[in-house]
Amino acid sequence: MKKPLILVSNDDGITARGIRTLVEVMAEIGEVIVVAPDSPQSGMGHAITIGNTLRLSEADIFEGITAYKCSGTPADCVKLAKHYVLKDRKPDLVVSGINHGSNTSISVLYSGTMSAAIEGAIEGMPAIGFSLCDYSSNANFDHTRDYVKKIAEQVLKTSLPKGVALNVNFPPKRNEKVKGIKICRQARAKWQEEFDQRFDPNGRRYFWLAGNFVNFDKGEDNDEWAIANNFISVVPCQFDMTAHHSISILNDEWEIMNS
Amino acid sequence: MKKPLILVSNDDGITARGIRTLVEVMAEIGEVIVVAPDSPQSGMGHAITIGNTLRLSEADIFEGITAYKCSGTPADCVKLAKHYVLKDRKPDLVVSGINHGSNTSISVLYSGTMSAAIEGAIEGMPAIGFSLCDYSSNANFDHTRDYVKKIAEQVLKTSLPKGVALNVNFPPKRNEKVKGIKICRQARAKWQEEFDQRFDPNGRRYFWLAGNFVNFDKGEDNDEWAIANNFISVVPCQFDMTAHHSISILNDEWEIMNS
């Protein structure tokens, strides 16, 4: 049987521990091509590079694996991989991560990890973003390996509904074993921002974005609940942002429709 | 009656023609505060600034209007406005734009204009992103004024469903008068990328992202159809990206759920 072609990207940059774990696991199940940012791109959301040039060069980082580093965003990486690096070959799977830090709940919008996966879905490829809810650069990814492999193999086997990418989050390594996988919805939560105001040596004001995550969601079917209860959360995500249920409401309420 | 407080941002930067039009129209209906990027931020998607500092300074650009320019992304601008500039005052409306260029269909994901609006919605404020389907820097915004005002007044009057922001696109100015407003869904379309490969004076390769917009959608209820037929498109957008219909499919198909 022909090995599946797997495209790997991330947002922490090509030298991060998380992408190394992902590359190692993917190499056990397919032919791996890596196209990843040459520097950290956390918080880049679905940014793309349009007012600037992009650089791409081969990176001799993973033994026996063809890899490229790119000056752009995670979404740029997937676009370049698809249209330039791979050209006539279409990946059977796009995976992104493993992110150093949570991408549950509202963080999916800000997440470079998930933008690479969503970009894969837009291009019609099954795609998964993996994140570990542990922000440290030397986080322990050992407990994710078996599940990353199982989930990737499952998606290769049964594929995904059209236009859907998976947002997979792992609880941090705890003493207790992970309880299993939960298919979830995105929790209703947000970042409660605070801006840390400081002054530079010239007396000019600047800010650091800071803040706390606030979970408003009382349900047990969402990704925040899953992580808090030591489950792996899997949220199917779509790039159709239409609030379909609101169309009829607006058509009904708006008096300006025929003006 | 107390005037509504209206927060204005954009992604083309505080000196763009589009935001000037928007500020002028909003000043007719409320008290306006502007917090907008100090440089163009097109294609920034929902990026936020987390690895770097943010600058914010007053900008004497719009006569009689309090305005700030910010070194960050559109999403940063709304966060800074809400948590630093306005503090205890909550805007009655957040508007973003008017963008120089279309944000229909899949472009909503890459759009800085819409990320400012979505950020408003996350913060529980009614929010609208306005875009003109004309990319030129000296685009004619005259035909948008009446409708921008009507739509903003409508949203101030009837508000929006919780968690929903509007993506409003105007057709370019044509000889024929705009036909009216259509509440739409996001069209199924994508950018068919091509990368323009060049070499710098040192012989090093670089790329420009280029490409064509391809519309796969045959329906007449989507934003692409509306614009092509000289209607103003209004798409209610949500930041819950869960593909809810896929949850039961995955629960049904996945054999690894209890492993």
Q: What are the percentages of helix, strand and coil residues in chain A, rounded to 5? A: 25, 30, 45
| Cβ-based contacts of A209 with chain B (< 8 Å) | 48-50, 54, 76, 79
Is pLDDT above 80 for B259?
no
Tell me which residue in A46, A47, A250 faces B183 most closely, judged by beta carbons: A250
Q: What are the percentages of helix, strand and coil residues in chain B, rounded to 5? A: 25, 30, 45
Mean pLDDT value of segment B72-82: 94
CA distance A102 to A187: 13
Tokens coding A91: 């990946």
User: What is the DSSP pairing of strand A5-9 with strand B66-70?
Assistant: unpaired
Residue B259 belongs to some domain of the structure: no
Mutate to test the interface with A, among B12, B39, B209, B256 (most CBs of A within 10 A): B209
pLDDT at position A45? 78
Give one DSSP letter per residue of B143-174, joined into a string.
GGHHHHHHHHHHHHHH---TTEEEEEEEPPP-
What are phi and psi for residue B12, nearest 5 degrees? -85, -5
Q: Which of A27-41, A109-123, B48-62, B109-123 has the lowest mean pLDDT?
A: B48-62
| Cβ-based contacts of A154 with chain B (< 8 Å) | 254-256
CB contact under 8 A, B236 and A243: yes
pLDDT in tens, A149-177: 999 999 999 999 999 999 999 999 988 99
Residue A24 belongs to some domain of the structure: yes
Instruction: Residue A46: give its domain's CATH number.
Output: 3.40.1210.10
Residue B214 belongs to some domain of the structure: no
pLDDT at position B258? 64
Residue B201 belongs to some domain of the structure: no
pTM, rounded to two decimals: 0.94
Residue A194 belongs to some domain of the structure: no
pLDDT band for position A40 (cuts 50, 70, 90):
confident
Q: Highest mean pLDDT range out of B40-44, B75-79, B165-169?
A: B165-169
Q: Which domain holds residue A69?
A: 5-187+219-253
**Which residues on adjacent β-strands are paired with residue A8?**
A34, A95
User: What is the DSSP pairing of strand B205-215 with strand B189-199?
Assistant: antiparallel
Residue B202 belongs to some domain of the structure: no
CA distance B221 to A94: 31
Report which residue type is found at A28. E
More confident residue, B9 or B83: B9
pLDDT in tens, B137-163: 788 999 999 999 999 999 999 999 999
Residue B196 belongs to some domain of the structure: no
CA distance B48 to B206: 26
pLDDT at position A68? 97
Give one DSSP letter per residue of B61-116, joined into a string.
-STT-EEEEESS-HHHHHHHIIIIISTT---SEEEEEEEES---TTHHHH-HHHHH
Average pLDDT, chain A: 93
| Cβ-based contacts of B70 with chain A (< 8 Å) | none
| Cβ-based contacts of A186 with chain B (< 8 Å) | 240-242
Average pLDDT, chain B: 93
The total domain count for chain A is 1
B246-to-A161, A165, A243, B138, B188 alpha-carbon distances in Å: 7, 10, 16, 44, 18
H or E segment to which residue A21 belongs: helix A17-27
Residue A156 belongs to some domain of the structure: yes
Tokens coding B167: 């993506």
